[in-house]
Structure 1
């Protein structure tokens, strides 16, 4: 598979994943979700809390920063472009969640990239059946990447 990730860093955070890590995590999500096309393209923007809060307020009606926002591409089929969409990840929120939840920061970054990528592919967690399917797939992907299962006893995340 030919995967292209256009990464923009608009964050002062220094503890960010490498391009290789991001590509590995996104590729694992695409493979596990049986993404069959030969090419995939994602735009990733890593931001700080003010931008995350602004986007979350404008697009989801929630006036607070969030860990990951997914914006699936809504292209007409006749264009036949490999663009899956945009991911916006708030570095300070990811770092804070990892600390509060006692998670390895790298493992939590992996989870956010996998989670967001699955949203770009149409997975969701609005109802219980969808949540169970998505969380099961996330767990399988992350454990195959040698990270702990992301959903221990905590509640599923309500981001998108």
Structure 2
């Protein structure tokens, strides 16, 4: 099967029911998306498919339609995405395990809602769990990223 991840085409020989998360991590060596719960409840495995956030732990590779973007493809070390930079500026991460999923969810959310309220942010990211409880810093980082993306 052929798939495109972060702008690069790959050919993989896997069972079509293998979850995208395991194709990314085990077959392609792309380790940004994390295994958290395996039942699409925590958000640690969030990636974008055609710009929309999806839980890669529950998406069979055979059902994949479109280009995949992981945290590794969102920005580059020399040109971070606004959400990635805001995460650094607000020192969001503690353990950091959930952060790639949080960032991917936030980036997709800001594409749809460029001027979110605190309630909008809380509602949009409530399905991405953070065991360390950095939710106030996550909210602040999303607001900073929104302002940056608007050019403020």
TM-score for both structures, normalised by structure 1 = 0.41
Higher share of residues assigned helix: 1
Q: Which has the higher strand share?
A: 1
**Given the two structures, how large is their TM-score scaled by the length of structure 2?**
0.43
